[in-house]
Structure 1
Amino acid sequence: MIRPYVTIFSTMTVDGKIANSNKYSKLSCNEDFKLQHYLRSINDAVMIGANTAIVDNPSLTVRLVEGSSPYRIVVDSKLIITPSLKIFSDPKRSIIITSNDSDPKKLKEFEITGVKIIKVERNKGLDMETALRKLYEFGIKKLMVEGGGHLNYSLLFKGLVDEIWITISPYAFGGGISFLEKGELDEIKAEFYIKEIKQLCHNWVNIRYGVLYPKKSIV
């Protein structure tokens, strides 16, 4: 299939959590933030899920390194987001991926500001293969994902991820929200290989993995 080259970026605790049960997720150090902004600067777009957009309200711009800010993409099957979020501060550089049956009135609120809407089928989740193909046709060749556990899971286990950049922080929650959040993963469903390891801020470690499987080739 034709799709962008997809890289997930995430910072987690030693026990694999990206946030605690109260959604506290401040796990990065300064060098990790710079790495995150560097990755944004070399990608055409950065994607998050609706819950991340609402809870964290990120701008997803490039500020800590040289480079241009990418397109900002929100995946929202039920269209629960609002135009007031920071991600829509530059509407013409913003994209929403949603379902074909989303409320037309809500869609209109975004469209009149210049936000691009990509609609796909929904069947036990959005058809992300079609969504990525449409992003590629729009000109998004390299895509960074700063998703929550559900978005990470849905992309990885559909074979739509090429690299994962994981920073392991020197913390543990003992509970909370996992990097891959959907039921129990009680068997090996994915395999990776190490491309690079960097020590950050003394006690943080970033591991750059390539995905062996599941992975659908980029044609």
Structure 2
Amino acid sequence: NAINLVKNKSLLKKATLYVTLEPCSHFGKTPPCSNLIIEHQIPNVIIGCQDDNEKVAGKGISKLKASGCNVIVGVLENECKQHHKRFFTFHNKKRPFIILKWAESADGFIAPLSKNDQKPVWISNKYSRQLVHKWRSEEQAILVGYNTVLEDNPSLTTRYCVGKNPIRIVLDKNEALSKDLNVFDIKAETILIKETAAVAICNKLQELNINSIIIEGGAKTIQLFIDAGLWDEARIFVGKAIFNEGINAPKFKGQMIFEEKIIDDTLRVYVNN
């Protein structure tokens, strides 16, 4: 698109092109980017990080250099790899980039033992919930387990922010959920998955070409992925409520990389290292 937007193409012969990821050298959904660069004789290309996908893996860089292009690789490399973390995870690990999200009470419970209504018991405040809806708009899909749908009747949309609704993935091995529940409305696509093991679920998500997903519950579903080591980030809100008893929050080990106060909530972000 950047090349196509240049009206006077003769200027490209004096240009420097900056890209976060190595230009591809193979035919996929579109022709190779490296061919377009060579065609327009762009003399300088600055690349953030190499694409280690086996279809590329330095071939684009070699092709550009062979054409006489001056290529510099590794500028802000770590930042570029972070930017493309979903892409790299999908192609290298053969699964989506997986974000775990939950809210827990100040005494470590994710939900009370019982409730009277078929709706969530909110632990986090409205500002935290709005942030979660922004996160949903940034990922391709959202996943919850059977019990979460049955007990909370969630919509799993981005109704508190402007953004595209994610694809709703629901674990329902027997397809027993009522189609009158909110997850089956027309606001977003919903896909039922019958698999029950984390690896099998990830394999199915890859078949569906889902490259990123946020898993929002419940505790059993989140723990399933933690125990299998199949997660990349955990985003946890700790609210001020005290339950005294309830369903325990998931147990995990990870490296905390971020902490922030959101009014009376505390948000902590961990990575699986």
TM tier, smaller: 0.7 to 0.9
User: Quick check: 1:47–1:74 contact (8 Å CA) kept in 2?
Assistant: yes
Corresponding residue of 1:133: 203
* CA deviations over 1:59-116 (Å, ceiling 9, x no partner): 1111222210000011123433111111011287111111xxxxxxxxxxxxxxxxxx
- Counterpart among 259, 265, 268 of residue 197 in structure 1: 259
Distance 2:153 2:225 in 1: 22
Scaled by the length of structure 1, the TM-score of the pair is: 0.76
1:16 aligns with 2:16: no
* More helix, by proportion: 2
Task: Report SS of the residue matched to 2:164.
Answer: coil
1:35 aligns with 2:127: no
1:140 partner amino acid: I
Distance 1:179 1:148 in 2: 9
Distance 1:46 1:92 in 2: 11
2:180 partner amino acid: S
1:209 partner amino acid: Y
Distance 1:90 1:17 in 2: 33
Greater alpha carbon shift after TM alignment, 4-13 vs 80-89: 80-89
Distance 1:16 1:75 in 2: 25
User: Quick check: 1:164–1:210 contact (8 Å CA) kept in 2?
Assistant: yes
Task: Report SS of the residue matched to 1:153.
Answer: helix
User: Quick check: 2:197–2:224 contact (8 Å CA) kept in 1?
Assistant: no
User: Quick check: 1:197–1:205 contact (8 Å CA) kept in 2?
Assistant: yes
Corresponding residue of 1:177: 247
Q: Comparing both chains, which one has the higher relative contact order based on Cα–Cα distances under 8 Å and sequence gaps of 6 or more?
A: 1
User: Quick check: 2:166–2:188 contact (8 Å CA) kept in 1?
Assistant: no
User: Quick check: 2:239–2:265 contact (8 Å CA) kept in 1?
Assistant: yes
1:134-173 correspondence runs (5 A): 134-173=204-243
Distance 2:96 2:201 in 1: 10
Aligned length: 177
Q: Which has the larger radius of gyration?
A: 2
Task: Report SS of the residue matched to 1:130.
Answer: helix
Change (3 A) 1:176 1:138: same
Corresponding residue of 1:108: none
Q: Gaps (5+ residues) in structure 2? A: 1-92
Scaled by the length of structure 2, the TM-score of the pair is: 0.61
Corresponding residue of 1:206: 267
Corresponding residue of 2:38: none
* CA deviations over 1:113-134 (Å, ceiling 9, x no partner): xxxxxxx4xxxxx122122122
Q: Percent identity?
A: 28
